[in-house]
Amino acid sequence: MLVQKFGGTSVKSIARIRNVAQIITRAARQDRVVVVVSAMGDTTDYLLKLARQAALSPQRRELDMLLATGEQISIALIAMALNEIGARAVSMTGPQIGIITESVHTTARIVDIRTDRITRCLDDGLIVVAAGFQGMTPEGDITTLGRGGSDTTAVALAAALSADVCDIYTDVSGVYTADPNIVPTARLMREIAYEEMLEMAQVGAQVLHPRAVELARNHRLKVRVRNTFDPDFEGTILRGADEMEIYRPVSGVTVDRDQARLAILKVPDRPGIAGAVFGSLAERRVAVDMIIQAFHQDRLVNDITFVVRRDDLVTAREALESVSRRVEAEGVMIDEDVAKVSIIGAGLMDQPDIAARMFAALGEAGINIKMISTSAIRISCAVAESDAERAVRIVHDLFHLEGQE
């Protein structure tokens, strides 16, 4: 039993849909296959443009109704292309495959998958072509899953159907030690631990959405990241760290450019202030990273600094300015010249000198580190955007990632 997911670039045109149909048929000779697809190429952007023309602030329920047509078009065309070359395929929308979500629009989470219909089709020898990104509330309304929705559909379906493997087809051959556009010597990793992939996905590696990685980890599902345009290559396999064959202190380096730094200055040092600041951001669904709280000399006021996605900057700034007035802080500072360079490695925690070596190497190269944050398997440095690519190359060299396998 195999789940294959194809992203928007893989089904951008009818020619590409034909190519995808070939990949699917080959797999279907050996396995029961469920295919999950995104909307074709720019369809979602086109639909969003229509929505913005129809209304200044389109209702979320209606946005979902509209956007769900994108995947519905893809699944129908792929099923047609499959039937055309002699495979027996049937398309299914999110509601039809039984993806039940919470009653929230544009960012719904899956609460249940009713697999009886899909299982019946598979038992009949059909290839099921399922719409990614969408589901249905218990009341029968169409919902969409938000960012990374199709990846999430694929992994959730694979888990619900107890699939052996979930193949995520994209336009690169797998996960690299760094972006090959930045580091020409970057190497493709043959395997990566869920936790590493999770950290990489969260700090700029675009191949797989963190939501999907987390779901795969929770179900210990074997996921492969593969290239639609080089389908014979096995790509990168995600698995548990305990199943990994190779031990690496540092697996890869990522850069996340779409960052911005905010600070709320001279906040009175009273209990509950941090709660007010970050509560107000959480209410607006702004994700925050790299929080630093620094005392001023008099120890009566603090500066609280943190990093957000640049998309969220306007929302975050508004939230912060309102808190600033309320708690009588001095004001809000914005720094848009921020990129986050991170190293990821399941073995990081065992090697305390790695962080020090990273900071030293950047410092020797004259790169100023604006902020630092760490997790058990990640060390991130915020630097000026103009320094970011150089920083990635320095760190990639420092830990000899090019020669690691």
Site stretch for its own copies (CB under 8 A), options 101-109, 135-143, 202-210, 362-370: 135-143
Q: Of residues 2, 33, 66, 392, which one binds its own copies by CB under 8 A?
A: 66
The mark string for 14-33 relative to its own copies (x by CB under 8 A, - otherwise) is x--xx---------------
Q: Of residues 9, 16, 61, 187, which one binds its own copies by CB under 8 A?
A: 61
**How many residues make up the chain in this entry?**
405
Q: Of residues 16, 47, 234, 317, which one binds its own copies by CB under 8 A?
A: 47
Site stretch for its own copies (CB under 8 A), options 88-96, 177-185, 340-348, 365-373: 88-96
CA 42 from centre of chain: 19
Q: Establish if 48 lies at the interface with its own copies (CB under 8 A).
A: no
**CB 79 to its own copies: min, Å:** 5
Tell me the C-alpha distance between 40 and 33, whole Å.
21
- The answer to whether residues 44 and 67 touch, using CB atoms and an 8 Å cutoff, is yes
Tell me the C-alpha distance between 113 and 94, whole Å.
10
**CB 129 to its own copies: min, Å:** 9
Site stretch for its own copies (CB under 8 A), options 12-20, 265-273, 370-378, 381-389: 12-20
Kindly tell me the burial class for residue 326, based on how many C-beta atoms sit within 10 Å of its own C-beta (0-12, 13-18, 19 or more). exposed
Q: What is the rounded (10 degree) CA torsion for 186, 191, 197, 203?
A: 0
SS3 210: helix
Q: Of residues 4, 38, 96, 324, which one binds its own copies by CB under 8 A?
A: 96
Q: Of residues 10, 38, 91, 259, which one binds its own copies by CB under 8 A?
A: 91
Q: Of residues 26, 117, 284, 400, which one binds its own copies by CB under 8 A?
A: 117
Site stretch for its own copies (CB under 8 A), options 52-60, 154-162, 186-194, 304-312: 52-60
- CA–CA distance from 229 to each of 173, 205, 332 (Å)? 8, 19, 48
Task: Write the secondary structure of 116-146 as one string of H (helix), E (strand) and C (coil).
Answer: HHHHHHHHCCCEEEEECCEEECCCCCEEECC
Q: Please name the amino acid found at residue 129.
A: V
Query: Using CB under 8 A as the criterion, which residues of the chain lie in contact with its own copies when the complex forms?
Result: 14, 17-18, 47, 50-51, 53-59, 61-63, 65-66, 68-69, 72-73, 75-81, 83-84, 90-91, 93, 95-96, 117, 140-142
